[in-house]
């Protein structure tokens, strides 16, 4: 067998040769860590409601706290260890977003506060923001076209 016959045969051969990520283990860890983060969020939400905040304010408080905790753990060099273990479990919740902004900010601090921290802070989160905001504008326009009667700003 000559693996170099074509690019396709080589790609197939390399795929066979390269060990795959341990998907089951990764999924399991992502599932329970992600679930745990969401549970913590729910607990905070419930406590806030108990103390008399309305649902929307409570949700904002949850976001602020989870972002704060994730940013703090990133600063302590702990979040990357959680991320290595949990993968998407800690990446998908708002904790991952916080980490993706704080980590380049830390990394590029050595290049100065303006061009370093300021300029490079969104290198990882930038695409999420650009496409997230673009998508929301698009959805907003569609909503406006089809719901001319009942526009309420929520």
Partner 1 sequence: MQVLLDQKKLIGPLSKYFDQTLDDEFWGEKTWEKAESKIIKETVNTVISKSGIPSSEIDCMFAGDLLNQCISSSFGLREANIPFFGVFGACSTFVESMSLGAIAVEGFANNVLCATSSHFCSAEKQFRFPLELGNQRPPTSQWTVTGSGAAILSKNGNGPYITHITPGKMVDMGIKDANNMGAAMAPAFADTLITHFLDTGRSPNYYDAIISGDLGHIGKEIAIDIAKSQGYNIKSNYNDCGVLIFDKNAQDTHSGR
Binding interface with partner 1 (CB under 8 A): 1-4, 7, 10-11, 13-14, 17-21, 26, 74-75, 77, 79-84, 86-87, 90-91, 96, 99-100, 102-104, 106-108, 110, 124
- CB 18 to partner 1: min, Å: 5
- CB 130 to partner 1: min, Å: 18
Nearer to partner 1, 53 or 107 (CB): 107
Nearer to partner 1, 23 or 154 (CB): 23
Nearer to partner 1, 11 or 55 (CB): 11
- CB 134 to partner 1: min, Å: 23
- CB 14 to partner 1: min, Å: 4
Q: Helix (H, G, I), strand (E, B), or coil: what is residue 35? A: helix
Nearer to partner 1, 48 or 79 (CB): 79
Buried b (16+ CB within 10 A) or exposed e, 66-88: bbeebbebbeeeebeebbeebbb
Q: Report residue 92: phi and psi, to 5°.
A: -75, -45
Residue 142, Cβ density class (10 Å: 0-12 exposed, 13-18 middle, ≥19 buried): exposed
* Interatomic CA distance for residues 86 and 131, integer angstroms: 25
Q: How far is CA 39 from CA 9, 34, 44, 70, in A?
A: 47, 9, 9, 15
């Amino acid at each position: 067998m000559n693996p170099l016959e074509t690019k396709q045969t080589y790609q197939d051969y390399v795929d066979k040769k390269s060990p795959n990520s341990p998907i089951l283990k990764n999924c399991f860890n992502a599932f329970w860590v992600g679930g745990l983060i969401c549970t913590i969020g729910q607990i905070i939400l419930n406590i806030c409601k108990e103390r008399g905040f309305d649902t929307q304010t409570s949700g904002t408080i949850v976001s602020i706290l989870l972002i704060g905790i994730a940013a703090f753990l990133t600063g302590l060099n702990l979040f990357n260890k959680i991320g290595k273990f949990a993968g998407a479990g800690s990446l998908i919740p708002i904790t991952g977003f916080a980490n993706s902004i704080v980590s380049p900010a830390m990394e590029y601090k050595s290049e100065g506060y303006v061009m370093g921290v300021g300029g490079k802070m969104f290198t990882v989160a930038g695409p999420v923001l650009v496409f997230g905001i673009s998508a929301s504008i698009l959805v907003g326009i569609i909503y406006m076209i089809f719901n001319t009667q009942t526009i309420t700003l929520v």
